[in-house]
């Protein structure tokens, strides 16, 4: 197991984290100095022998620091199996790091999260931020993750190419990883860990307004791409059916053209705006399911559009088919195992 610790302006808590991990585990440790000032140099200089220290010339953000470590691991530890990321501020206890790592070893196909329950004295910005993100994430993806902002995560070294493709260089990077994992139906497991905040989390470099916007922006883009595609499909069916009203197969052509355009739009938006240039391996299965849903859509519309306005019929059909579409995409398009919370 390889521990990755991104660090910006760390204090003695980083040294304590590293010392405890070396005492309690045999994990390799990679620390990334994310452009810290000269004042932090004594901390990095005091890191024990055997710890790999990588450096950024200037601050580039937590996401970029994690990616720098992943690139190093891919180049120098290609035979390693697992990675566990740990924060430098002392929030993650060595015992919890071990528990998360061991859970991943038992489920190497999963993304394993060290999930806090925010008990005891918790800074308001951390409690509120996680609660809001939890709700927004659930509404946007249909997936429940209790601690979406945890930095304690374990995953396979073989997932590094996916991790490097993720959009985002700062705090939004970690939420993007969760979004893509849900999209690909990568199993997500949560292991309950201790909630630790030292000195009201004063050492955190999370900016409540700026970094929260970066996080929520990506979640909202993810949700908006699906909503926009559904709206385009709805409007196109109504418009094209009016255009092809005098043709024998007018409704069929309307449904087909609308679904092709809206499906393409949904994929394009997710790849370019949310996930950038992520894997295309699921595209074939996605369109295979889309074709089946399109056929069901046409069949149901043909049955009920004669007894009610097309606009209402289309809305009812979409609502009826949504659960089936979701199930097929979960089990067939992106099937990679069960999500476990």
Which CATH number fits the domain that encloses residue 36? 3.90.550.10
Q: At which of 139, 173, 206 does a domain end?
A: 206
Q: Are 142 and 81 found together in one domain?
A: yes
48 secondary structure, DSSP code? P
CA 27 to CA 25: how far, in whole Å? 5
Region 234-253: what's the mean pLDDT? 85
Q: Which of 104, 122, 121 is nearest to 113 (CA)?
A: 104
Lowest mean pLDDT among 4-8, 67-71, 138-142, 295-299: 138-142
User: CA triplet 197, 84, 82: central angle to 5 degrees?
Assistant: 165
Does residue 338 belong to any structural domain of this protein? Answer: no
Q: Are 21 and 68 found together in one domain?
A: yes
User: Which pairs count as long-range contacts for 255-262, CB under 8 Å and 24+ apart, including other chains?
Assistant: 255/294, 255/297, 255/298, 255/301, 256/294, 256/298, 258/232, 258/233, 259/233, 259/290, 259/293, 259/294, 259/297, 261/232, 261/233, 261/236, 262/229, 262/230, 262/232, 262/233, 262/236
- pLDDT at position 41, please? 96
Q: At which of 140, 172, 206 does a domain end?
A: 206
Start-to-end CA distance of the chain, whole Å, equals 23
Q: Are 64 and 196 found together in one domain?
A: yes
- pLDDT at position 20, please? 94
pLDDT at 205 over 50: no
Q: Are 18 and 42 found together in one domain?
A: yes
pLDDT at 5 over 90: yes
Tell me the average pLDDT of the chain: 83
**What percent of the residues of the chain are helix, what percent strand, and what percent coil, each to the nearest 5?**
60, 10, 30
Region 17-40: what's the mean pLDDT? 96
201 pLDDT band, cuts 50/70/90, is very low
Q: Are 194 and 258 found together in one domain?
A: no
Does residue 237 belong to any structural domain of this protein? Answer: yes
Token pair 């994990």 in the structure block, residue: 27
Over residues 136-183, the pLDDT tens digits come to 777 767 788 888 889 999 999 999 998 998 888 887 888 889 888 887
Cβ pair 281, 185 in contact under 8 A: no
CA 324 to CA 313: how far, in whole Å? 17
| Selection from 13-22, 303-312, 332-341 with the highest mean pLDDT | 13-22
Q: Are 200 and 229 found together in one domain?
A: no
Q: How many residues does the chain have?
A: 341
Does residue 184 belong to any structural domain of this protein? Answer: yes
Token pair 């889309």 in the structure block, residue: 290
Phi, psi for 55 (deg, rounded to 5): -130, 145
- pLDDT at position 203, please? 44
Count of C-beta atoms within a 10 Å radius of residue 340 = 12
Does residue 339 belong to any structural domain of this protein? Answer: no
Region 3-11: what's the mean pLDDT? 96
Q: Are 82 and 224 found together in one domain?
A: no
Lowest mean pLDDT among 28-42, 62-76, 203-217, 225-239: 203-217
Q: At which of 171, 206, 241 does a domain end?
A: 206
Q: Are 153 and 234 found together in one domain?
A: no
Q: Are 102 and 153 found together in one domain?
A: yes
Quote the number of domains for the chain. Answer: 2
pLDDT at 300 over 70: yes
Does residue 104 belong to any structural domain of this protein? Answer: yes
Question: Which residue range forms the structural domain that includes residue 227?
Answer: 218-333
The H or E element containing residue 4 is strand 2-7
Q: Are 71 and 107 found together in one domain?
A: yes
pLDDT at 279 over 60: no
Q: Are 235 and 191 found together in one domain?
A: no
Q: Are 79 and 107 found together in one domain?
A: yes
Does residue 312 belong to any structural domain of this protein? Answer: yes
- pLDDT at position 63, please? 94
CA 164 to CA 63: how far, in whole Å? 10
Alpha-carbon torsion, ordered 152, 64, 211, 47, to 10 deg: 60
The answer for residues whose C-beta is within 8 angstroms of residue 124's C-beta and 6 or more apart is none
- pLDDT at position 268, please? 74
3-class SS of residue 7: strand
pLDDT at 215 over 90: no
Chain mean position to CA 86: 17
326 secondary structure, DSSP code? H
- pLDDT at position 196, please? 78
CA 262 to CA 237: how far, in whole Å? 11
């Amino acid at each position: 197991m390889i521990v990755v610790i991104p660090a910006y302006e760390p204090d003695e808590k980083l040294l304590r984290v590293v010392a405890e991990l070396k005492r309690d585990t045999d994990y390799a440790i990679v620390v990334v100095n994310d452009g810290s000032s000269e004042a932090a140099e004594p901390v990095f200089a005091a890191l024990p022998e055997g710890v790999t220290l990588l450096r950024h010339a200037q601050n580039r953000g937590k996401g970029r620091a994690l990616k720098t470590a992943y690139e190093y691991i891919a180049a120098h530890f290609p035979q390693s199996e697992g990675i566990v990321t740990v924060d430098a501020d002392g929030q993650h206890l060595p015992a919890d790091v071990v528990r998360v790592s061991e859970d991943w070893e038992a489920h190497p196909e999963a993304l394993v999260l060290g999930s806090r329950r925010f008990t005891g004295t918790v800074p308001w910005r951390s409690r509120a931020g996680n609660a809001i993100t939890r709700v927004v994430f659930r509404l946007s993806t249909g997936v429940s993750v209790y601690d979406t902002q945890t930095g304690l995560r374990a995953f396979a070294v073989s997932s590094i190419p996916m991790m490097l493709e993720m959009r985002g260089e700062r705090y939004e990077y970690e939420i993007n990883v969760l979004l893509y994992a849900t999209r690909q139906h990568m199993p997500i497991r949560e292991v309950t860990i201790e909630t630790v905040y030292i000195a009201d989390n004063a050492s955190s470099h999370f900016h409540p307004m700026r970094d929260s916007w970066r996080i929520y922006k990506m979640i909202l883009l993810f949700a908006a791409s699906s909503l926009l595609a559904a709206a385009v499909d709805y409007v196109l069916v109504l418009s094209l059916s009016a255009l092809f009203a005098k043709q024998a197969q007018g409704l069929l052509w309307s449904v087909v053209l609308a679904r092709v355009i809206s499906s393409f739009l949904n994929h394009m938006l997710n790849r370019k705006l949310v996930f950038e240039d992520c894997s295309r391996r699921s595209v074939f299965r996605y369109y295979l399911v889309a074709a089946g849903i399109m056929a069901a859509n046409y069949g149901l519309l043909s049955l009920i559009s004669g007894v009610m306005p097309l606009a209402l019929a289309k809305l009812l059909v979409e609502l009826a088919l949504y659960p089936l579409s979701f199930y097929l995409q979960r089990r067939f398009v992106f099937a990679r195992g069960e999500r476990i919370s």
